[in-house]
Amino acid sequence: MDEWSSTLGHVSVYGFLEPQSIHNAKDIRGQCEENIGKWLKESQRQVYLGAYLNQAHWQLVILYPTNNQVVWFCSMRKRPDVHIEISINNAFKALKTTDDGKFPQTTPQWIEVKSHIQRGGYECGYYVMHWMWNIITGELKTDWSLWFGDGTLLDTKMITGLHKKWVEYFF
């Protein structure tokens, strides 16, 4: 994703969280917080996209540190699990540490986008790819609900088209 985003000229805009580094934040919460904090501090991107796997279901989390916002996409309309929420909140707090070493009391604003909803049990990865593809190609950084708030299904034609786009890109 990073390479594809860079080819579109978005080198300084979008960063990507490695799914294996934030997967199952319950068991690796400290490490997860550390990884997120490190990416936010070192890569200096405006927006970070991360595919999050929880109980065999892919969801998308978007971190927008300069606006102190976290955007959550789930094709089954599940709320973020407490473990990833705590990890992200703590990483944001650490990022916003004051000069005297104190943490600010504000947590990031969480926005849950009521976007496309899946019908079956296997399409969640396609939904995450669809959202990422549209965010990057549309150069989106705000107005998430405006762009993705229709609540419809992704039909088979759209999923097949998305699959073909990724196959073409990789091959």
The structural domains of the chain, ordered by start, are: 2-170 (3.40.395.10)
Closest by CA to 25, choosing from 86, 78, 79, 93, is 86
The yes-or-no verdict on residue 118 having pLDDT over 70 is yes
pLDDT at 111: 92
Mean pLDDT of 116-133: 86
Reported as type and span, the H/E element at residue 127 is helix 124-137
How much is the pTM? 0.84
In degrees and rounded to multiples of 5, residue 140 shows phi and psi of: -85, 140
Separation of alpha carbons 69 and 63, rounded Å:
6
- Would you place residue 103 in the very low, low, confident or very high pLDDT band (cuts 50, 70, 90)? low
The yes-or-no verdict on residue 99 having pLDDT over 70 is no
Mean pLDDT of 19-48: 83
Which DSSP category does 50 fall into? Answer: E
- Would you place residue 75 in the very low, low, confident or very high pLDDT band (cuts 50, 70, 90)? very high
Separation of alpha carbons 38 and 18, rounded Å:
12
Mean pLDDT of 14-34: 81
- Would you place residue 101 in the very low, low, confident or very high pLDDT band (cuts 50, 70, 90)? low
pLDDT at 73: 94
pLDDT at 78: 92
pLDDT at 119: 82
